[in-house]
Structure 1
Amino acid sequence: MGRSLLISQVTDFNAHALLSMENLIYIITVPLSTSIILANLVIILGISCNRQLHNTPNYFFLSLLVADLCTGVALPFIPLMGLNRELSFASCLVVHIFPNFLFLAFLSNLVMVHYERYICIVDPLHYNTLWMHRNFSLALLIVWTPPLLFASLPAFGWNNWSGPDWNNSCESTQKLPPLSNCSANLTSCCSYKRVFPNAFIYLEVYGLVLPAILFIAGMTGRVLWITRGQMKDICRLHRSVERGNQASDQEQRLNLRYTRCVVAVSLTFLACWVPYLIYMHVSIAFLIIDTKGRSITNIVLSCTGIGSMAVVPMVLGLANKQYTQPAFKLLRKFRDRRIRAFEPAPGGDSEAKITWKKKEKAEDS
């Protein structure tokens, strides 16, 4: 009787703890996911509606937006990968492999976009002859296929489903019920440790993710350095033409614009990349010390870290007025029509009608 009561109490406690963790994940990720999805739809609409933007660089950026949109959809499910749940083998593989594939595809597209823009600045003369422009379909295949193949490795046998390592996360004894929320039938206990071996996690973090982030940071720093040198050359030529030693207003504006650019890039890196880097190393630390559960700190770091990194394409897209112009026009048109609904329509005066129609055509154009 006492043992049955103990089992019931521990089971209820584990179920309540799991529900609390899931609610915390949804509270943090759902607003982030909604913002990422809406912002990407706005930018995708802007590129699709403007024919002048239908070129190869924007197609690469469009692929990044699609990957970011998918990451926004999968964002609430990525932190859930750290919770132990009762799932079958096939379902457990799907809920772990698919979000991981979307994340790796997003990172691969982000590297490709930064590389394409980096070559545009570093070597503009040979920019149009790049293999990415000549074989656009091959470039898309490269940024989407390798992430899918790597993320699918656990489905081809590289997993711990039948190995001993899962005992650390879903263990049970004869005296006590399971320490996690999983049932006594250990074959139904789905844990990321059963799907991803430690070697797989280390390879993904230090062989793919971290080098990609460092590669993006290196290209960004190189672009800023080249921009600084070109700005100095412009200022030097301007002084030689003006024959003056004092800095002109135009030079001061250039320096101010460059300073703003550096500050914007630095703040973007601090706000978007640093939280993910912290989360990544904290997760590795939890993996090394082999914790039995998922702490609230780790959940908050995972939600904010992955969400902040998914904001990077939004920052790049919303900073370009060409991408957001159709959305702003649509909002302005909707606002003006709502204002007109409360205004009296022009009467019988023909000139007033003509003026009203001209105003509508000007706003539509």
Structure 2
Amino acid sequence: MEALEEVELCFPQLHNASCKKTKRPHFEAIMTYIILSSISLLTATLNLLVIISISHFKQLHTPTNFLLLSLAVSDFFVGLLMFFQIVLIDGCWFLGDIMCVVYLCVAYIITAASVGTMVLISVDRYVAICDPLHYSTKVTQERVQVCVCLCWIGSLVFQSLMVKENLENPGRYISCSGECVVVGNYIAVFADLGLSFVAPVITIIALYTRVFATAVSQAHAMRSHKVAVTFQGSVTVTFQKSELKAARTLGIVVVTFMICLCPYYFYVIVLTAQDILLSAKSAAFVICLFYFNSFLNPLIYAFFYPWFRKCLRLIVTFQILQSHSCEANIL
């Protein structure tokens, strides 16, 4: 016979004004906090190593790597935000209404910036695979940097407008003490879903479908020795295997991102369309799953990118502190 779950108040002194939380076994609670805290710390640390690697070593200053740098920055902040999500794991928020709105606003900005960066990565791979002859002229470091800045600025402005009323009146929409929510009108919510989820997902799927179709045909051509193409009668351009490998690796990053992102937005859609409140455990699970993607990304880099493993060795052995270390041969 299963025992009924006990409930307790987030703020017992407030009685009926306090939100309720589910009381879990002590061992389960401790293990949950330890595991999530470890993942949070590792997420921030690993992505900080990616940031240092790409920022420091000049050989890594390429358009594609600048996009990975943008993704690593968002993933680094996700690692920090996970500490706040751990506070919410039992459905209770103890840091006040202002911190609640700030936390959720920052989380939305980072999420939107991550999605935007994924779209830029897909565009980068599309041009590299489908139009390799013009890649170096179409995708330059300056253009990528401008696109990344616009992505972050756009995310900041759009998401700040989304929660503007909540920022002006923190705690206005909470139903009990210990709750952490922001509320927007239906138009704003569906606009956010369209711009931050539906449109980017359709774009990513369309671009990568074309990328992998082209990659497969190019791979067949390479095996048939029909890759060489003469450009302007003097330059022979060979389809590089490295581009195929990069497309595969970044494809894994994109697919992993989609797997971790979709449950979160499906949760938001269900919450909005049916106007129901799912359990705190359900909300915590989909949010933690999305955050977990930020932990996986640097592991994917470590597994598929030799340059990242080499950078790690130079960083952990403090060789990065030597003069002219930024000129080191990484590739």
The TM-score with structure 2 as length reference comes to: 0.68
Segments of structure 1 that go 5 or more residues without pairing to the other structure are: 1-6, 171-179, 183-188, 239-253, 335-365
Report the residue type matching 1:65 in the other structure: A
Paired residue for 2:191, among 203, 214, 227? 203
Count of aligned pairs between the two proteins: 288
Q: Does 1:140 align with 2:148?
A: yes
Aligned-pair CA distance for 1:19: 9.3
Q: What corresponds to 1:101 in structure 2?
A: 109
Q: What corresponds to 1:62 in structure 2?
A: 69
Q: What corresponds to 2:50 in structure 1?
A: 43
Contact 2:37 2:86 in 1 (8 A): no
Provide the rounded CA distance (Å) in 1 between the counterparts of 2:211 and 2:187: 35
Q: Which has the larger radius of gyration?
A: 1
Aligned-pair CA distance for 1:203: 2.1
More helix by share: 1
Alignment of 1:71-90 (within 5 A): 71-77=78-84, 83=91, 85=93, 90=98
Report the residue type matching 2:161 in the other structure: L
The alignment yields a C-alpha RMSD, in angstroms, of: 4.2
Contact 1:64 1:113 in 2 (8 A): no
Provide the rounded CA distance (Å) in 1 between the counterparts of 2:18 and 2:163: 33
Indicate how the Cα distance of structure 1 residues 94 and 127 shifts in structure 2: closer, same or farther if over 3 A, else same.
same
Contact 2:271 2:278 in 1 (8 A): no
Contact 1:97 1:152 in 2 (8 A): yes
Provide the rounded CA distance (Å) in 1 between the counterparts of 2:87 and 2:193: 18
Alignment of 1:224-263 (within 5 A): 224-237=212-225
Contact 1:25 1:300 in 2 (8 A): no
Report the residue type matching 1:234 in the other structure: M
Contact 1:29 1:307 in 2 (8 A): no
Provide the rounded CA distance (Å) in 1 between the counterparts of 2:30 and 2:254: 29
Aligned-pair CA distance for 1:125: 2.0
SS of the equivalent of 1:302 reads helix
Q: What corresponds to 2:229 in structure 1?
A: none
Q: What corresponds to 1:325 in structure 2?
A: 310
Q: Does 1:305 align with 2:276?
A: no
Provide the rounded CA distance (Å) in 1 between the counterparts of 2:164 and 2:318: 53
The TM-score with structure 1 as length reference comes to: 0.63
Q: Percent identity?
A: 17
Deviations 1:245-298 (A, max 9, x none): xxxxxxxxx9xxx99x97x88876665422431232133223433335633233
SS of the equivalent of 1:152 reads helix
Report the residue type matching 1:311 in the other structure: L
SS of the equivalent of 2:22 reads helix
